[in-house]
Amino acid sequence: MEVSKAHVAIVGAGFGGLEAARQLAHASVRITMIDRHNYHLFQPLLYQVATAGLGPTDIARPVRAILRRQRNLEFRMTEVTGIELAARKLATSTGEISYDYLILAVGGETSFFGLQSVAAHAFGLKDLDDAVRVRNHVLEMFELAVHEKNPEVRRALLTFVVVGGGPTGVECAGALSELIRLVLIRDYHGLNIKDVRVLLLEASDKLLPVFPETLRESAAKALWEKHIEVRFGAMVTEFDGKQLVLKSGETIPAHTMIWAAGVRAVRWLDSLGLPQDRQGRIKIKPTIQTEAHPEVYVIGDAASLPDGDGQALPMVAPVAVQQARTAAANIQHALRDEPLESFDYHDRGSLATIGRNAAVARFGRFGFHGFFAWLLWLGVHITFLIGFRNRLMVLINWAWDYLLYDRAVRLITPNGAKH
Ligand SMILES: Cc1cc2nc3c(=O)[nH]c(=O)nc-3n(C[C@H](O)[C@H](O)[C@H](O)COP(=O)(O)OP(=O)(O)OC[C@H]3O[C@@H](n4cnc5c(N)ncnc54)[C@H](O)[C@@H]3O)c2cc1C
């Protein structure tokens, strides 16, 4: 009689979920991978979709195409709405799914820190819809501005504010400024470039906090050279879609705000009753399991595990991928009644680009900036993109844009507007 195989449910086909599935490809388990989307999204290049450099299909790939050769895996496109932890069952929008082991790899979402007016009017940058909405909106602002007679309104239409001086904010501000100064200004002859402002607002006194000081300074300098007004100690308290208010009381007329200041674990995890940190991430043990339910593993942006200094590990792709490997290994150890492994994070460094020929690269306490850092950034992103077709398309797009100062995806497409 054939013994039935343990059933592993993996929720989330992001960086962590995909790696966990691959690590279990030859294990004697049955896997159900679940995601609310039918695609895996390469989030590090979302800002390029938002700034018309790449199209959505360049940075996303169907999960079924990625995992089609994995015989022990079945994919279900459905939304998980809750978990009955004691009964080991997932509630989904299309019915229940039982499991023996669960890997929760559900990622994060934008956090507006309870600022309701900002949440209502600013754009987040976490999914393809967000990125396409930003692209549409930026292009629409130019369509409106070119016919606007009132100079104050025109300037507000052409003021683009990015909030948050982490890698996403820096990359987004740099790409936006280049889109405007290198490309759009040639499309809209009637506009005066002096009416355009790109601001990067950071509440603390530094950009790119994980980088050493010299690299932070070179990044700030590169942003200034790309005509981005970087403001430190600038904390946004309100935004009504036409004007933002800072904590100091200063107001800035602007019709566009891109919020790159905060992320948290996806909100529906709050209903599980498992211990969470301040960002809503579920606290896990070094074995990647939850304390109360050893059959439940949580990885990536949804998980909170302190590093050596007691700080939760960052919400970045390498943490998700490495935790996926430990979770997959420990499920196999548990099946064989072997002792479990503890997670040990290997930080291989960080990269951030500010635009054409400009990037910063950090390895441990060392780093460099400029053209070679930018080449490294290009190489790493091409390498980690999933799928040969996507790599090729992105490479062709980048070469085209670099040589011809173009952005091919300058399309305003039907898509739900933010306001
Ligand atoms: C704009 C941006 C830029 C970034 N740049 C970098 C970078 O340069 N370098 C870097 O290392 N990291 C970067 N990150 C962070 C990195 O993308 C995340 O750390 C990484 O994606 C986390 O992987 P994950 O597997 O935990 O979650 P994700 O990759 O977010 O995957 C989560 C998956 O779960 C699915 N899901 C969520 N809820 C449900 C549900 N209820 N039912 C079904 N499915 C669900 C989602 O659809 C998604 O596919 C960036 C993130 C963003 C947003």
pLDDT, tens digit, 9 for 90 and up, residues 235-279: 999 999 999 999 999 999 999 999 999 999 999 999 999 999 999
| Confidence check: pLDDT of 297 > 90 | yes
Cα-Cα-Cα-Cα dihedral sign, residues 203, 206, 211, 216: positive
Q: State in Å: Cα 10 to ligand 1 middle.
A: 14
Q: What is the pLDDT of residue 136?
A: 97
Ligand 1 nearest-atom number relative to CA 260: 1
What's the whole-model pTM score? 0.96
Q: Could you list the beta-strand ranges (E) of 179-254.
A: 197-202, 228-232, 236-239, 243-246, 251-253
Q: What is the pLDDT of residue 362?
A: 95
Determine the Cα–Cα distance for residues 272 and 89; give it in Å rounded to an integer: 12
CATH topology of domain 6-36+78-110+264-335: FAD/NAD(P)-binding domain (3.50.50)
Token readout for 106 is 């559900």
Which helix (DSSP H) or strand (DSSP E) does residue 396 occupy?
A: helix 388-404
Which CATH number applies to 116-261+349-404: 3.50.50.100, 3.40.190.10, 3.20.190.10, 3.90.1330.10? 3.50.50.100
Percent of the chain whose pLDDT exceeds 70: 98
How large is the average pLDDT for residues 350-360? 95
Q: What is the pLDDT of residue 22?
A: 98
Ligand 1 nearest-atom number relative to CA 42: 17
Q: State in Å: Cα 316 to ligand 1 middle.
A: 8
Q: State in Å: Cα 139 to ligand 1 middle.
A: 26
Q: What is the pLDDT of residue 417?
A: 55
Determine the Cα–Cα distance for residues 332 and 101; give it in Å rounded to an integer: 10
Q: Where are the domains of the chain?
A: 6-36+78-110+264-335, 116-261+349-404
Cα-Cα-Cα-Cα dihedral sign, residues 168, 389, 178, 190: negative
Pocket of ligand 1, candidates 272, 298, 316, 354: which has the most ligand atoms within 8 Å of its Cβ, to mutate? Answer: 316
Q: For residue 198, what are the β-bridge partners?
A: 160, 228
Ligand 1 nearest-atom number relative to CA 299: 26
How large is the average pLDDT for residues 400-410? 91
Nearest residue to 208 (alpha-carbon basis) of 153, 167, 158: 167
How large is the average pLDDT for residues 192-199? 96
Distances (CA, A) of 29 to 32, 52, 294: 10, 42, 17
∠ CA 318-45-368, rounded to 5°: 65
| Confidence check: pLDDT of 364 > 90 | no
- Which residues sit with their C-beta closer than 6 Å to ligand 1? 11-17, 34-37, 43-44, 46-47, 79-80, 105-107, 125-126, 167-168, 266, 268, 300-302, 315-318, 320
Residues 3-44 have pLDDT tens digits of 689 999 999 999 999 999 999 999 999 999 999 999 999 999
| 116-261+349-404 matches 6-36+78-110+264-335 in CATH topology | yes
Write out the catalytic residue numbers. 171
User: Which residue is closest in CA terms to ligand 1's atom 39?
Assistant: 106
How large is the average pLDDT for residues 187-195? 93
Distances (CA, A) of 350 to 7, 34, 357, 381: 36, 30, 17, 12
Q: State in Å: Cα 109 to ligand 1 middle.
A: 8
Determine the Cα–Cα distance for residues 24 and 28; give it in Å rounded to an integer: 8
